[in-house]
Amino acid sequence: MDWDYEALSQRGRAETARGALLAALVAREFECRELGRRGTALVAVRGALELEIWPRVVWVENPLWATERFILAPGLWACPMLLRQGHPPDLYLVPSQRWLEPDEVFGTRPGRALGPEWTIRMLRTPMPAELHEYELERMLTRLGVAAPVPGAVSVALQNELRRRARDEVGAVEAARWLHEAGVLKDSAARPGLPLRELLRAGAVEGAEQRPSRWNGRWFIRRAGAGSVAPLGQPYVRADEDATQADRDPFPIDPTIVERGTRSHARLQNALAEWVQAQGWDPRRPGPGEPQYDLAWEAGAVRWVAEVKSLTGENEERQLRLGLGQLLRYRHPLGETGEVRAALMIEYPPSDETWLSLCRELDVEVLWPERLRAGEAV
């Protein structure tokens, strides 16, 4: 989000800041409802914890927060929302009883009708240290409210869209998915409201509002539907010295298992080094992606690779496993463009029909000698 406040009206600034506040509360599983004829205050409830919050925007050019509308009582909180061009709103949560001991930051001044005004001088150089302890996230943590998992809503929705093979979902249906998965509790009175607050704050990947105005309907599009999402994340070299000392006993000889683990790591690292030598970037699986061993992009083509160590006894089984995994991995990744598959093994298959089968299925079979001879892909 650009946080371009100068392009917004005063009301637009207030709605943007309020949306950020609601998104922060909803992400911590608060149920929120508005109070007052104009929604000047809101009540946030989470279990036995209930907060009555009075939010108000403070523009950096006039950094004085003032109100005469609330009394100094337990459970009543002021929420100054400081806007600075190009930055997300700075949100604070101050208990009203803080003004029982006024000072140069938290003070009073004569009001116009309803009694004294309670004030906060938001900016000095530097920012008053007294304000830091009232930062919203810090105060919610102090109140015993666990911090949200970053991106949990986006990850859950993107995974569900892929699982259902859907390009997009409306906000109400998406909210039901999240509620059923235990990721974000929905509102019984206004289904979809907690998710919509996150959408308005720009906190959900793939969010679109159609038409693009305040009353437009919200949708979440699957990453890769109409655009290509990044492939995986940077490769981390496999440990070639791994042992199975702590492995639970199996009917399989541990030395064979250990040999397979080390061989797999060496093959995987050799393939990653070859990919780098071609000028490409080896990748490992990212969140929500198939658990392939290695991937890379060669121009417009994406490659996904599975690595299998072999012995005379397990060769047939390993080849079957590797081929099946590749076909499964290639299918979802292929939704965003051309994807090819490579099976990396220790030596050429003893049964040459494996090579013809893989050619028919457009799967490249690699082994170290092929890489060294420059015969691969």
Task: Tell me the per-residue pLDDT of 175-205, one tens digit each, with 9 for 90 and over.
Answer: 999 888 877 878 777 788 788 878 876 778 8
Q: Which residues have CB under 8 Å from 278's CB, separation 6+?
A: 298
User: How is residue 358 written in tokens?
Assistant: 């893989």
User: How is residue 15 written in tokens?
Assistant: 């709605």
Averaged pLDDT for residues 16-35: 80
Task: Tell me the per-residue pLDDT of 36-84, one tens digit each, with 9 for 90 and over.
Answer: 644 468 888 888 888 999 888 877 666 666 666 667 788 888 888 887 7
Rounded Cα distance, 362 and 376, in Å: 14
- Angle of CA points 20, 22, 23, to nearest 5°: 65
Task: Tell me the per-residue pLDDT of 321-342, one tens digit each, with 9 for 90 and over.
Answer: 999 999 998 887 776 678 899 9
Amino acid identity of 241? D
Residue pointed to by tokens 């990453």: 223
Q: Could you tell me which residues are beta bridge partners of residue 369?
A: none
User: How is residue 189 written in tokens?
Assistant: 């009175």
Q: What pLDDT was estimated at residue 252?
A: 45
Q: Which of 1-5, 83-87, 210-214, 237-241 has the lowest mean pLDDT?
A: 1-5
Return the top range by mean pLDDT from 230-234, 309-313, 373-377. Answer: 309-313
> Given the DSSP bridges, would you call strands 64-67 and 49-59 parallel, antiparallel or unpaired?
unpaired
Q: Could you tell me which residues are beta bridge partners of residue 208?
A: 219
The answer to whether 258 and 240 have CB atoms below 8 angstroms apart is no
Q: What pLDDT was estimated at residue 173?
A: 92
Q: What pLDDT was estimated at residue 254?
A: 43
Q: What pLDDT was estimated at residue 113?
A: 62
Rounded Cα distance, 100 and 316, in Å: 79
Q: What pLDDT was estimated at residue 75?
A: 82
Element (H, E) at 317: helix 315-333
More confident residue, 220 or 19: 220
Q: Exposure of 324 by Cβ count < 10 A (0-12 exposed, 13-18 middle, 19+ buried)?
A: exposed
Q: What pLDDT was estimated at residue 360?
A: 92
Examine residue 126 and say whether the peptide bond preceding it is cis (omega within 30 degrees of 0): yes
In the predicted model, what is the mean pLDDT of the chain?
A: 79
Rounded Cα distance, 144 and 142, in Å: 5
Rounded Cα distance, 165 and 158, in Å: 10
Q: What pLDDT was estimated at residue 275?
A: 92
Q: What pLDDT was estimated at residue 233?
A: 74
Q: What pLDDT was estimated at residue 256?
A: 43
Rounded Cα distance, 59 and 69, in Å: 20
User: How is residue 226 written in tokens?
Assistant: 């109409």
Q: Which of 121-125, 160-164, 213-217 has the lowest mean pLDDT?
A: 121-125
Rounded Cα distance, 5 and 12, in Å: 8
The percent of residues in the chain predicted with pLDDT above 90, rounded, is 19
Task: Tell me the per-residue pLDDT of 243-295, one tens digit each, with 9 for 90 and over.
Answer: 554 444 444 444 444 445 788 889 999 999 999 988 888 998 876 778 899 99
Nearest CA to 49 out of 66, 25, 85, 71 is that of: 25
- What value does the CA radius of gyration of the chain take, rounded to a whole number of Å? 29
